[in-house]
Structure 1
Amino acid sequence: MLGVLLTLAALPVAVLSLVLIVGALATLVITSRVSAAYPPAGPFVAVTGGRLATIQDGPADGPPIVLLHGASANASDPMEGIGRRLAARGFRVIAFDRPGFGWSDRVAGGEAAAPTVQARLIAEALATMGVGPAIVFGHSWAGSLALALALDHPERVSALVLAAPVAMPMPDRLPDLPWYWRLAIQPPVAWLLSRTVGPPLAQRFLPEAARRVFTPQPEDPAYPELARAALVLRPGTLLANVQDLLGLTKALAAQAPRYGAIRVPALVIAGEADPIVRSAEQAVPLARAIPGARLVLLPGIGHMLQYAAADRVTEEIARLSAGSTNAATAAPAAR
């Protein structure tokens, strides 16, 4: 990465301009092809300032579960990992493209990097749909989003499933970012690179990124197509991805002290062999911070547990749902 930056910086202005122009043309081609290959796969929901895209499955009268994806992904990621399984078991499954990802608008621009802002938009969409309270599943980055929903919009959340969650305060650095995301530290640079050389470079390294997140499991060869992974290559999504990742440290520092106020049932589930979000640093202390949370650590499983351990994750969600339903039914009698 540093070598690439130094190479670009060392180029004569005319050559650098040519590189950026060629990159911009390549980006137009990539964006056009990706958009045509992976059109919207479900209905949109209007929110203040734009709309959010969803993928939905399962019976309309089933217990609702909301699926929220992590960085570099879109609604297809959790839907194809566990969503279809949950739908087959009678759940009403609603997977959102987070703001700026997939086909959702980047409502609020750079401010949408905050989990609290995304939670407000998701809550508004659920209210419009008449959905809630629902089980909310958040993977990786979206662990912080699911928690923000429970904290700020508890009427929309009946239970939490926090899968390989990023939720606890961490050092003001992001050491595991793929190198091309580090290009976009300053907003003007981010905007320029995301529309020129960023997408072609990201396209080149997308297979390696997929391999890394599945470690220690081998990558599922069907994953890129199932998860519509190439949608991340479009300029707006690349920029949103960088903003979300770079803004998370500050957001977690503000949000984490509130976890003790969560009162809904919570399942924290993670792979013990996850090299991306280490369970000892995130899942384990998070489970301690949420009153009554249940911690499940999966031996030998990495970051993509919704694929590598899809059946187990589905079973744990069904168990959580049954427990939540029983508790809600018993509550009036207890009073």
Structure 2
Amino acid sequence: MAALLITILALPFAILGLVLALGAVASLVIALRAGAENPPAGPFVEVAGGRLATIQAGPADGPPVILLHGASANASDPMEGFGRRLAEKGFRVIAFDRPGFGWSDRIAGSEAAAPSVQARIIAEGLEKLGVGPAIVFGHSWAGALALALALDHPARVSSLVLAAPVAMPMPAQMLVLPWYWRLALQPPIAWLLSRTIGPPLAQSYLPETAKRVFQPQFEVPRYAEAVRAALVLRPGTLLANVQDLVGLPAALAAQSPRYGDLCVPTLVISGAADPIVRSETQAVPLAKAIPGARLVLLPGIGHMLHFVAAERLTDEIARFAGERREAAPLVRD
């Protein structure tokens, strides 16, 4: 009888162990396939603690534009969205895989979840490339990163373009998570899940997630393939993505009071119909917080404006850059 009771009690743990083991095997297969099908698409930059991966386009002597991608993405997202259009207009375009994403190392480990830490790493990468000051574009999560770069490393930034930015403190009700999410986000458990059942689950949700972020527009054809979306399914990237998202509210609470100190020309552009990052809670108050910032709201456009409104975004950046050049003081001998 005792043996039967022990067997019954042990059964759930045996099933859990089997699920985790199968998940680990599936995760390994998914990670290997994602890496093999999506190799590095550009040169690496050596920085302290590791390497940053880049994708570059345009003339080497063109005005530099730095592209920083949002959550769950990599450098291909902004580059394929509108970066190559900028390159055709004569800009030197450099898109970074943020630390832990794409093919960039997770330099500084979990501390890299802070936009300020990523800004330091990106600034070092720009120094190694001999680039700056540059126009810095940040989409969504990377809006906070672009702002941190301008605040802490102003010599690297000539102007800011913040697209659908996440930059303002979040309402308290958005920060309350169910108990099971809080448990899953604890570091040891998050690490375990990212290497077992996390990748297979993420893979199953990937198509629906892509459709959702494009709303109210339709997903562009072959989007996932073009932006190498499968790279986010690798365990290290999944964990980095969770760390970045969980750590962002505290980072914004600390960073946002400094926005009034910014002196860099800033363009804030957002889709007025963005259901992911609502302009009324982010773009609009952010533009008011930054002295002299210009706000552009695109009617009917959602979160992926760098794809669905790529031509308008490219024109806005080109015009913004032209205005900055015209406003630059003459240097006399």
The answer to whether the 8 Å contact 1:181/1:242 transfers is no
- 1:4 is aligned to none
Q: Secondary structure at the match of 2:93?
A: strand
Q: Which amino acid aligns with 1:273?
A: A
Q: Aligned runs of 1:1-12 on 2, under 5 Å? A: 12=12
Q: Aligned runs of 1:26-37 on 2, under 5 Å? A: 26-37=26-37
Q: Which amino acid aligns with 1:227?
A: V
Q: Could you report, residue by residue, the CA deviation over 1:153-185 in whole angstroms, capped at 9, with x for unpaired residues? A: 0000000000000000113465799xx987741
Alpha-carbon distance between aligned partners in 2 of 1:78 and 1:175, rounded to the nearest angstrom:
28
Q: Secondary structure at the match of 1:273?
A: coil
- 2:233 is aligned to 233
Q: Aligned runs of 1:252-271 on 2, under 5 Å? A: 252-271=252-271
Q: Secondary structure at the match of 2:60?
A: coil
- 2:155 is aligned to 155
- 1:130 is aligned to 130
CA root-mean-square deviation:
1.8
The answer to whether the 8 Å contact 1:169/1:252 transfers is yes
Q: Does 1:141 align with 2:141?
A: yes
Q: Does 1:23 align with 2:23?
A: yes
Alpha-carbon distance between aligned partners in 1 of 2:176 and 2:216, rounded to the nearest angstrom:
16
Q: Could you report, residue by residue, the CA deviation over 1:133-155 in whole angstroms, capped at 9, with x for unpaired residues? A: 00000000000000000000000
Alpha-carbon distance between aligned partners in 2 of 1:194 and 1:182, rounded to the nearest angstrom:
15
- 2:101 is aligned to 101
The answer to whether the 8 Å contact 1:176/1:276 transfers is no
Q: Does 1:307 align with 2:304?
A: no
Q: Aligned runs of 1:198-277 on 2, under 5 Å? A: 198-277=198-277
Alpha-carbon distance between aligned partners in 1 of 2:251 and 2:147, rounded to the nearest angstrom:
12
Alpha-carbon distance between aligned partners in 1 of 2:194 and 2:173, rounded to the nearest angstrom:
21
Q: TM-score, with normalisation over the residues of structure 1?
A: 0.93
Alpha-carbon distance between aligned partners in 2 of 1:181 and 1:48, rounded to the nearest angstrom:
34
* Deviation, structure 1 residue 331: 5.3
- 2:70 is aligned to 70
Alpha-carbon distance between aligned partners in 2 of 1:310 and 1:175, rounded to the nearest angstrom:
32
- 1:319 is aligned to 319
Q: TM-score, with normalisation over the residues of structure 2?
A: 0.93
Alpha-carbon distance between aligned partners in 1 of 2:142 and 2:210, rounded to the nearest angstrom:
18
Alpha-carbon distance between aligned partners in 2 of 1:248 and 1:331, rounded to the nearest angstrom:
41
Q: Could you report, residue by residue, the CA deviation over 1:90-121 in whole angstroms, capped at 9, with x for unpaired residues? A: 00000000000000000011000000000000
Q: Which amino acid aligns with 1:242?
A: V
Structure 1 gap ranges (5+): 1-9
Q: Could you report, residue by residue, the CA deviation over 1:292-329 in whole angstroms, capped at 9, with x for unpaired residues? A: 0000000000000000100000000001111111122x
The answer to whether the 8 Å contact 1:75/1:95 transfers is yes
Q: Could you report, residue by residue, the CA deviation over 1:206-263 in whole angstroms, capped at 9, with x for unpaired residues? A: 0111011000001112211111111100000000000000000000000000001111
Q: Number of residue pairs matched?
A: 321
- 1:54 is aligned to 54
Residue range with higher mean Cα deviation, 163-172 or 294-303: 163-172
Counterparts in 2 of 1:48 and 1:97: CA distance versus 1, 3 Å? same
Q: Does 1:281 align with 2:271?
A: no
Q: Which amino acid aligns with 1:204?
A: S
Q: Secondary structure at the match of 1:288?
A: helix
Q: Secondary structure at the match of 2:122?
A: helix
The answer to whether the 8 Å contact 1:63/1:134 transfers is yes
The answer to whether the 8 Å contact 1:271/1:297 transfers is yes
Q: Which amino acid aligns with 2:239?
A: L
The answer to whether the 8 Å contact 1:171/1:249 transfers is no
- 1:189 is aligned to 189
- 1:119 is aligned to 119
* Deviation, structure 1 residue 31: 0.4
Alpha-carbon distance between aligned partners in 2 of 1:235 and 1:275, rounded to the nearest angstrom:
28
Q: Which amino acid aligns with 1:133?
A: P
Tell me which structure has the larger Cα radius of gyration: 2
Structure 2 gap ranges (5+): 1-9
The answer to whether the 8 Å contact 1:184/1:242 transfers is no
Q: Secondary structure at the match of 1:45?
A: strand
Alpha-carbon distance between aligned partners in 2 of 1:112 and 1:69, rounded to the nearest angstrom:
15
Alpha-carbon distance between aligned partners in 1 of 2:172 and 2:161, rounded to the nearest angstrom:
26
- Aligned-pair identity (%): 75
The answer to whether the 8 Å contact 1:183/1:193 transfers is no
| Runs ≥4 residues deviating over 2 A | 171-177, 180-184, 330-333
Q: Could you report, residue by residue, the CA deviation over 1:48-97 in whole angstroms, capped at 9, with x for unpaired residues? A: 10010000000000000000000000000000001000000000000000
Alpha-carbon distance between aligned partners in 2 of 1:71 and 1:37, rounded to the nearest angstrom:
21
- 1:41 is aligned to 41
